[in-house]
Amino acid sequence: MAAGFESARSLRVSETGIPGLLLLDLPVHGDRRGWFKENWQRERMVALGLPDFGPVQNNISFNDRRGATRGIHAEPWDKYVSVATGRIFGAWVDLREGPAFGTVFTAELGPGTAVFVPRGVGNAYQTLEDDTAYVYLVNDHWSAQAQSQYTFLNLDDETAAIAWPIPLEQAERSERDLAHPRLAEVSPMRPRRALVLGANGQLGRALRETVPGADFADRSRIDLFNEETLDSVRWGDYDTVINAAAYTAVDQAETPRGRVDCWDANVTGVARLARHAARHGLTLVHVSSDYVFDGAKHSAYTEHDPIAPLSVYGQTKAAGDAIATTVPRHYIVRTSWVIGDGGNFVRTMAALAARGVDPSVVDDQVGRLTFARDLAAGIRHLLDTRPAYGIYNLTGSGHATSWADIARRVFELTGHDPARVTGVSTAEYFAGEQAAPRPRNSLLALDRIVATGFAPRDAAEALTEYLDALAGHEGSNR
C-alpha cells in the first residue's frame, strides 16, 4: 500500500464539538501502485447522518509547500472538505450567531479523513506536507455577491488560540488573511431563515406571530406572476420558503381573464418557485385546498385519496401540488374554510347579525373551519419537528358542519336569534350567477398531522374564542 496514510477500516461519520460540523473516516484502498477512495458517496454518507446538501461546485486548492496556511473563512454555503494528496491540519471556528459562537475544533486530515463544514463555520487549514491537494465541494456557486457575505477571523486570534503545528510567523499566509479581525470584532453570520410569500394575506399575517424571525414578502416585492422578482431573491439567506400566496378568487377564475391569472399564479408561479427551492436545497411549504377534491366522498378525505377538482381554481391547486412534490424537501398543507385577520365569513355573519339582516346561507356544503393562527401553528410544528415530507391535511378538528350551521352559531354566540339564518342549497344560492362549482364535502382527515404530535384545535371552540376576541377588539375601538 502507498505510504503516508493509514486506511480507515470503514466509512464512519462522527460529531464534533461544533454543531453540524461532522468528521468522516473514509475507506482508502491501496497497493504499490497508489490508492483509491470513494471521496463523496451520497447514498451511504446520507444514510450515516451527513446532510444531503446537494453540492454544485468542486474546487481544488493545490499547495506547493509545507506550511501554506489559509483562512479563517466562514462562507454562506455548506462545504465538504477532503485531501487528495498530502496532509493538512484543519481548524474550524463557529462564527454563526448563537451559543456556540467561538467554539473551536481541530483535526488532521489525510486521504482517509474528510469533514463536513456547515454554513457559517469558519474554515482554515495548514499544509503539513509539500504538494498537498485540498479538495472541497460546495452547494452554491461562487460569485462576488456571495463573497461579500463571508465572515472572517484572524488566524492568530488569541481567543480561539489555535495550536498551529507550524508557528504562524514561519507559515506562508496571504496579506488579506493577515488583516482579518479578532473574534471580539467579528459580526456573527446570521442563520438561514424562512421566507414567507403572501405576507399580507390571512395566513401570512398569522405567520408573523408564529414565525417571527422569518422574512415576510408581499406581492410588491416578490410576485409569483413576475419571474424577475424571484430571480432577484438572495436565496442563500433562506432554508425554507412558505408559499402563502395564491390566486383565490374562485368565481372570478371561471372567467376568461381570471382563468389565465389563476393558472399563472397557482401553477406557473409555483413552478417558478419550485425551481428555485429545488436548486437551493430549500424546504418548500406549499398551502393547498380542499378544492382539489370533488366532494363526492361520504367520509373525510385522506392525503392518499385521488384528486378530482371541479373548478378552475381547484384544477390549478391540484396542478400546483403536483409541481410542489418535485422539490425534494416539501410539505404540502391542505386546508379548508380559512378564517383569519381581515374580511371573512365569520366576520360577515357577525356584522349581518348586528345590522338586523337575516341571511340565506348554503346548507349542503360540509366541512370544518380552519383558523389562520392554527394553520400557522401547524406549519411551524412541521418545520420544528421535520416529519416525513409529503402532504398533510390541516384544518380545525371536531364535527363537520355546514356553512348555515356556522352562521347560526355565530348569531347565537353574538346574542342573536339563530333562527334568523335560512339554509338554502348551493344551486339556490348561486341561481342566475356565474359561480365556480364547490365540493359538497370538504372534510379532511387529520390522522397524519395528529400522528406527528400536533393536535388541531376544535373548530367550534376556536370559533367561540375568535368571536370573543373580535368583540373585545371592537369594544376597545369604540
Prior bond to 72 cis, omega within 30? yes
CA dihedral defined by 199, 202, 208, 209, rounded to 10 degrees? 180
Q: Which of 80, 125, 136, 429 is catalytic?
A: 136
* Residues forming a β-bridge with 243: 197, 286
Q: Which of 73, 180, 280, 416 is catalytic?
A: 73
Give me 13's grid cell.
461519520
Give me 331's grid cell.
410539505
- Give the closest residue to 329 by CA, choosing from 284, 288, 280, 387: 284
- Give the closest residue to 28 by CA, choosing from 4, 51, 45: 4
**Alpha-carbon span 348 to 317, nearest angstrom:** 26
* Residues forming a β-bridge with 152: 73
- Give the rounded distance of the alpha carbon of 474 from its chain centre: 36
Q: Are 107 and 115 in contact, with CB atoms under 8 Å apart?
A: yes
Q: Are 81 and 128 in contact, with CB atoms under 8 Å apart?
A: no
Give me 278's grid cell.
429545488
Q: Are 313 and 321 in contact, with CB atoms under 8 Å apart?
A: no
DSSP code of residue 301:
B
- Amino acid found at 282: L
**Alpha-carbon span 410 to 464, nearest angstrom:** 8
- Amino acid found at 390: G
**CA–CA distance from 122 to each of 23, 92, 350 (Å)?**
15, 5, 57
Tell me the three state secondary structure of residue 213. Answer: coil
Tell me the residue length of the chain.
478
Q: Are 303 and 325 in contact, with CB atoms under 8 Å apart?
A: no
DSSP code of residue 420:
G
- Amino acid found at 291: Y
* Residues forming a β-bridge with 81: 115, 136
**Alpha-carbon span 26 to 125, nearest angstrom:** 19
**Alpha-carbon span 160 to 22, nearest angstrom:** 19
Would residue 399 show up in a list of annotated catalytic residues for this protein?
no
**Alpha-carbon span 392 to 403, nearest angstrom:** 24
Would residue 136 show up in a list of annotated catalytic residues for this protein?
yes
Residues designated catalytic: 73, 136
